[in-house]
Amino acid sequence: MREERITADRLAGYSDAVFAVIVTIMVLELEAPDDQAFSALWPLWPTAISYALSYLFIAIIWINHHYLMRFVGRPSLRLIWINFAHLFLVSFLPFATAWVARTRLASAPVAFYAGLFVCIDVAFNFFEHEVLTRANITQVTAQMRRTARRRSLTVLAGFAIAILVAFVEPRIAFAMVCVALILHVRPDASGRRP
């Protein structure tokens, strides 16, 4: 049992480090204005909003990842690779965030942002499925699995629709991504207290 925990803890520790690096890269994108007046901050609103929301999104992704790691015994090689794929996709968030900010929520960058979240969510769905399938039945009930699957598919559909909407109304599409992610704010889809 101790060996299983150490291995799962190493996977969680590595993942935590990757999340920390991603947030650090995002904050490095923030550039202070050369002007000393507060009014110089106003033109930076798209960058500030994009950064704040992406930071929140990374927090939501990390919280859900952290929550699922509670159920991991000895991680399978499949789970480790799924985790790497998920982290790889999350690592594109600083790039997507910067593009959305620099273009002030233009159609193509917002569509890319929503598409990135489709990819991240697909990888997360595989990760979630792998963890919950292998979890002890006393820890994770069939109802919890069904509720998590339903929520994940709803979020995925929201992201996919946002891609299409981005070409017509990018700000609405960006808002749709935000709303879809809100469904993951609470990781326990069953509503039970952990």
Q: What is the DSSP letter of 37?
A: S
pLDDT given for residue 184 in this prediction: 87
Read off the pTM.
Answer: 0.86
pLDDT per position in the chain (194 positions), as tens? 555 566 888 999 999 999 999 999 988 877 888 888 899 888 888 788 888 888 999 999 999 999 999 888 889 999 999 999 999 999 999 999 999 988 989 999 999 999 999 999 999 999 999 998 888 766 788 888 888 889 999 999 999 999 999 999 999 999 999 999 888 888 875 545 44
Q: Which tokens belong to 56?
A: 């929140």
CA angle 112, 103, 158 (to 5 degrees): 35
Dihedral sign of CA atoms 183, 140, 5, 194 in order = positive
Considering only CA atoms, which of 115, 109, 123, 128 is closest in space to residue 171? Answer: 109
The pLDDT of residue 28 is 82
Question: Would you state the structure tokens that stand for residue 81, as one six-digit string?
Answer: 């690779």
Q: Please give the structure tokens belonging to residue 189.
A: 């889809």
Q: Residue ranges per domain, the chain?
A: 2-182
For residues 112 and 51, the answer to whether their CB atoms sit within 8 Å is no
Residue 75, Cβ density class (10 Å: 0-12 exposed, 13-18 middle, ≥19 buried): buried
